[in-house]
Structure 1
């Protein structure tokens, strides 16, 4: 009798361990991917230190791409949340770790020169080639549209500058991975703004917010607004990203808005 009771108890425990019985004969079409954005970073250090940091408990990323050879390391499964974005916002969504895939590129970022200038480290062509392949694969699997790829400096412009001014955003645009302002249209709009005068600061703030940036909306050119303008310029006009609202920046914002139908 004791033996039979013991067997029944083991069977009961085995049933509990396997979890509840779930009917999967129906499925909904009302869903999409957890991942809505892909966020690009640089590591600010070399490969061994990058692997050490990203394999620990404090910070993580779904992928890490080395310089040469451009090995792609998967550090966190895409279905899991990695800790790479921190306090962040884009298109009204906040704390983007929950809705993004993070990709770190091994790159030292910059060093300060003797006169206080930042000297930025370039990315290897091999590394960017590997990134493009990875991005196309992720976007296809998660059904993401062009524009879903953003930089850490886009989502946290008050505290981050990566992936920096030497990151080749235009190359990604040429691969069909993100929108890019038409050069002829930008030239025409720039001439118009140069002759007619710049829009108001409130206009710049509204246009940047329409792109996705978190930006003040009070109509004043404060440090926060300058940082957001600089982040936008670093992406679309990396030759000069001083945070000053000028005719070319206005033209790029106008053309991007027109292309998006705004």
Structure 2
């Protein structure tokens, strides 16, 4: 009898309204007076800027098509620089938000650069139309300097102003101002051989460039003692490039060489390792050693 009464009692409780669970649509405030967020009294020393890189691209398209791709598609960039002769630089994604511009790849130990970079797209066709298929029917493995399309002067000045401002505000290391090809050498070749990295460095103090005296020193040194392939690949890693550990210059490794040459020896980008390329790499490592240490 006692067992039956207990069962009936439980059954009756289960049929009662679940009063405590019925406030879902009537959420009560935590306090009658909102709590105050104090961001001034204390500040943590263990922090850094989220933005660590500036990545430069070309669109391989004209103004109209570039706008469509970057505003309606699944790719985006923080800024778009068209080839109009005007004073406009278009901000497509707020800097505090993540743009989809970098994709797979990495640089300086980072492998998801969309999270830590500002992407800048520049309207440019990339490869001249007559050279689009040049690699299919020739012995060329990579596009040479003459295949690329020039940038307009107004675009260079816009890039200079924009990159100067972003780099200053986020305290970005010169070597972390890179091209899309630097972070994805087997997928991308933009902004290409005719993007004027040297001019931007010398005239506007933007991005990295080597000292000629250091290059000449390392050329002489390399002629006296030829480095091994693992030593050369380690030098690429020291600068920030992702490169495999094979003891040969396979296609993936040559893609890295080509990307490096597009950036730092654009008049002769071959994808082949040589004394001059290695000397430039060593000169850059000497100049910028320790410049990208961050958490």
Return the TM-score normalized by structure 2: 0.78
- How far 1:197 moved relative to its partner? 4.9
**Which of 226, 233, 252 lines up with 2:280 in the alignment?**
252
* Structure 1 gap segments, 5+ residues each: 1-8
Shift of 1:139: 1.3
Q: 2:80 aligns to what? A: 64
Q: Paired residue for 1:36, among 36, 52, 55? A: 52
Structure 2: runs of 5 or more not aligned: 1-22, 136-142, 291-295
Deviation of residue 150 (structure 1)?
0.6
Please tell me whether the aligned partners of residues 198 and 250 of structure 1 are also in contact (alpha carbons under 8 angstroms).
Answer: no
Deviates more, 1:138-147 or 1:110-119: 110-119
Correspondence list, 1:152-231, <5 A: 152-174=180-202, 175-194=204-223, 196-231=224-259
| Larger Rg belongs to | 2
Q: What SS class does the counterpart of residue 114 from structure 2 fall into?
A: helix
Size of the aligned set, in residue pairs, is 249
Q: State the shift of 1:115 in Å.
A: 7.7
Aligned with 1:102 (options 101, 108, 119): 119
Moved more, 238-247 or 21-30: 21-30
Question: Does the 8 Å contact 1:205/1:219 carry over to 2?
Answer: no
Report SS of the residue matched to 1:108: coil
Distance of 1:159 and 1:115 partners within structure 2: 17
RMSD: 2.3
Q: Please say if residues 85 and 97 of structure 1, whose CA atoms lie closer than 8 Å, have aligned partners that are also in contact.
A: yes
Indicate conservation of the 8 Å contact 1:199/1:250, yes or no: no
Deviations 1:99-148 (A, max 9, x none): 10000000010035388165211001110101110111111221223222
Q: Secondary structure at the match of 2:72?
A: coil
Out of 131, 134, 145, the residue aligned to residue 113 of structure 1 is: 131
TM-score by length of 1: 0.87
Classify the secondary structure of the residue corresponding to 1:64. strand
Displacement of 1:219 in angstroms is 2.3
CA drift of 1:178 comes to 2.1
